[in-house]
Chain A
Amino acid sequence: EAGVAQSPRYKIIEKRQSVAFWCNPISGHATLYWYQQILGQGPKLLIQFQNNGVVDDSQLPKDRFSAERLKGVDSTLKIQPAKLEDSAVYLCASKPTSGDYNEQFFGPGTRLTVL
């Protein structure tokens, strides 16, 4: 079974620029998460999707962050404009609709550096 795919693995931009990250969850997983992991901290949930609907985006800085999952499969996370404090690893995770429903499967993450 293929895992959660993310791209790019690394991205360096200057502040005030825009950036987008892509996530392809495990096939058949209805639930998708985006996490932000700042260096030295644990991951923090940004947004949760169930199919193509948003379940929880209470911790998403909506003035600059946006995310979508139009067809209930792939998802993109965008930052516009980026700030220095957005430097972090952005992790995508997905969860199956049946079976071991408690486990989230994580992708390798995208490391963003904002200069």
Chain B
Amino acid sequence: AQTVTQSQPEMSVQEAETVTLSCTYDTSESDYYLFWYKQPPSRQMILVIRQEAYKQQNATENRFSVNFQKAAKSFSLKISDSQLGDAAMYFCAYRSALGNNNDMRFGAGTRLTVKP
């Protein structure tokens, strides 16, 4: 079964600085999708960025970018120019691209604090 590991329960960053959140996963599949979701105190899960495993180019979305290392099964999230509104729980997630089973496997999350 696929597992997702986020080894940093908490991270802190100064406003306007850059922070990297780590994520590793375990799978025997070659085709899959990876996601980073943000969950603020309102509990609404918001998609931050996603990566298709067959794409070598790292995904970017404004101040958010990923470092996808397929061989190492690593998928880290970099947040540049951190803002106070970035403070939230961040979840890394894996989904197989095979079949109809869209079971999303989530990591335990990293709580990001942004200091003014």
Residues of A within 8 A of B (CB): 3, 31, 33, 40-45, 48, 50, 55-56, 89, 91, 93, 95, 102-104, 106-109, 111
Main secondary structure of the interface of A (DSSP, over half): strand
- Give the residues in chain B near A44, CB-CB below 8 Å: 106
29 contacts between A and B (CB under 8 A): A3-B44, A33-B104, A41-B109, A42-B93, A42-B107, A42-B108, A43-B104, A44-B106, A45-B104, A48-B102, A48-B103, A50-B100, A55-B101, A56-B103, A91-B43, A91-B45, A93-B45, A95-B102, A102-B33, A102-B95, A104-B104, A106-B37, A106-B44, A106-B45, A106-B46, A107-B44, A108-B42, A109-B44, A111-B43
Across chains A and B, the number of contacting residue pairs, with CB separation under 8 Å, is: 55
